[in-house]
Amino acid sequence: MPQLGLLPRRAWAALLSQLLRPPCASCTRAVRCHSQVAEAVLTSQLKAHQEKPNFIIRTPKGTRDLSPQQMVVREKILDLVVSCFKRHGAKGMDTPAFELKEMLTEKYGEDSGLMYDLKDQGGELLSLRYDLTVPFARYLAMNKVKKMKRYHVGKVWRRESPTIVQGRYREFCQCDFDIAGQFDPMIPDAECLKIMCEILNGLQLGDFLIKMAWKDVRHEMVAKKGLAPEVADRIGDYVRCHGGESLVKQMFQDPRLSQNKQALEGLGDLKLLFEYLTLFGIAKKISFDLSLARGLDYYTGVIYEAVLLHTPTQAGEEPLSVGSVAAGGRYDGLVGMFDPKGHKVPCVGLSIGVERIFNIVEQRMKTFGEKVRTTETQVLVATPHKNFLHERLKLIAELWDAGIKAEMLYKNNPKLLTQLHYCESTGIPLVVIVGEQELKEGVVKIRSVASREEVAIKRENLVAEIQKRLSES
């Protein structure tokens, strides 16, 4: 179907609205006139289409491509995150990009309106996944899995108004780690917090703090443990004044709390959690936040968010406001929403906000003028002479077959200088050079791009020699 540009489409609409009015004597001429215009518009449209497409080339609102440079940075971040998840024994998993719409209904509360729905093309009603948590719960319920520690890296989609400067996109990548199953209290919760710390330390984003939502802690104590609201608020006074680390200790020294049996019970889980966090060496990274509140409907317990205290600012670097870079919490009821009999599988997990982290790392690299290699090529196969394409092709196939990462220029007779420049601009460390002299003597030259040193070696020793050099570097 030919593309109609925006402006002419509007002209068409105006025209149609004219034509659809019941004809009267006074407008007959106008109609005829319009139909001539229509014909002219159509003709010019078809002509324009034959010459060139009539639209601006861009990606959809709130989305972007990742260039090779960005891809390298993204991959480094993901590698670090995934290797941490694997260090903690998580299994990988994947789910489809879209779900039956009814699977996602009633899971996100107010945010449901931000879901991308697919057009009804005569089949099922589908929506793009909004997070990785609900598909995980659906997977557990569908397969009757009662226990699982898994990670999932994937894209999710939300129709938020995109504030791209702050790293908010409508398509973005999430890295989730979750522990499903009935276990002794607070052990998996503490591990989730430990994982957050390991990842944020590993990414070297500067100092950070993990804030637990006090409102949720209080709610847990009052509604679930039966603590009197006034006792909970006394605990709240501590939360207001102190950080997380020494908090529990101090509360137990307060006779108003430590001599109150109910208070002690209410504090039990919190005490346990901070004990474990202390053994993990991360208790001082956790504090309470009085303003934090649950973002999504499915959380049932304490939620937490990791914030950077200040992004690493150096001379000339603009400080970035990035907000939360990781979040998580307990959602004991979600799996039960899918189960026909409502059987619950308690879950706790966390999600790493890759886009925001990506923005920080990218900006930092720009500030420091850091360059990344976008390829991993180890060797360029080059020649100083004409008519050496066949030799280069034979040579490079040998390297490829030996697992060596090699490139050559796709020209019959490239200039040597062009070939050497290519190495310098793309960071290839070694050049293998074959020319008339080398061919006659049964050797090839290996040149180090950095030192410009060249050595001749026997043709048959080439692969072994390169492998030796690469293993040494």
> Is 422 marked as binding a ligand?
no
Chain position carrying tokens 């189960």:
339
- The contacts of residue 192 (CB under 8 Å, 6+ apart) are 177, 179, 328, 348, 349, 350
Name the minimum Å distance from CB 412 to its own copies: 5
165, burial (CB in 10 Å: exposed 0-12, middle 13-18, buried 19+): exposed
Which residue's CB is nearer to its own copies, number 202 or number 226? 202
Which strand ranges, in their side-by-side order, compose the sheet holding 443-448? 406-407, 379-382, 430-433, 443-448, 454-458
Strands 126-128 and 171-180: unpaired
CB of 206 to its own copies, least distance (A): 19
Could you tell me the smallest distance in angstroms from the CB atom of residue 392 to its own copies? Answer: 9
- Quote the DSSP letter at residue 221: I
Q: How far is the CB of 120 from its own copies (least distance, A)?
A: 7
> Has 133 been labeled as part of a binding site?
yes
174 is in an annotated binding site: yes
Closest distance between its own copies and the C-beta of residue 29, in Å? 36
Nearer to its own copies, 29 or 371 (CB): 371
**How far apart are CB 23 and its own copies at their closest, in Å?**
32
Residue 361 C-beta: closest distance to its own copies, Å? 16
* Range list of H helices, 123-166: 133-142
Burial 208-245 (b: 16+ CB within 10 A, else e): bbbbbbbbbbbbbbbeeeebeeebbebbbebbeebebb
Pick 238 or 252: Cβ nearer its own copies: 252
Which is nearer to its own copies, 118 or 223 (by Cβ)?
Answer: 118
> Is 131 annotated for ligand binding?
yes
Closest CA to 38 of 11, 17, 56, 65: 11
With respect to its own copies, which residue has the nearer C-beta, 8 or 222?
A: 8
Closest of 438, 446, 444 to residue 460, by C-alpha? 444
Q: Is 139 annotated as a binding residue?
A: no
> Where do we find the tokens 């957050």?
196
Residue 58 counted as an annotated binding residue: no
User: What's the rounded Cα separation, in Å, for the pair 471 and 65?
Assistant: 35
Nearer to its own copies, 19 or 145 (CB): 145
- C-alpha pair distances (Å), 458 with each of 401, 410, 439, 449, 461: 19, 26, 10, 20, 5
* Residue of 161, 191, 156 whose CA lies nearest to 353: 156
Rg of the chain over CA atoms, in angstroms? 31
Contact (Cβ atoms closer than 8 angstroms) between residue 426 and residue 377: yes
> Toward its own copies, which CB reaches closer, 242 or 344?
344
Residue 141 or 357 having the CB closest to its own copies = 141
Burial class (CB in 10 A: 0-12, 13-18, 19+), 49: middle
294 is in an annotated binding site: yes
Least gap, CB of 343 to its own copies (angstroms): 10
50 is in an annotated binding site: no
Shortest gap between Cβ of 159 and its own copies (angstroms)?
7
Residue 178 annotated as lining a ligand binding site:
yes
What interhelical angle do 389-401 and 462-472 show, nearest 10? 60
Nearer to its own copies by Cβ, of 65 and 453: the residue is 65
Query: Known binding site: residues?
Result: 131-133, 158, 174, 178, 294, 298-299
| Binding positions for L-histidine | 131-133, 158, 174, 178, 294, 298-299
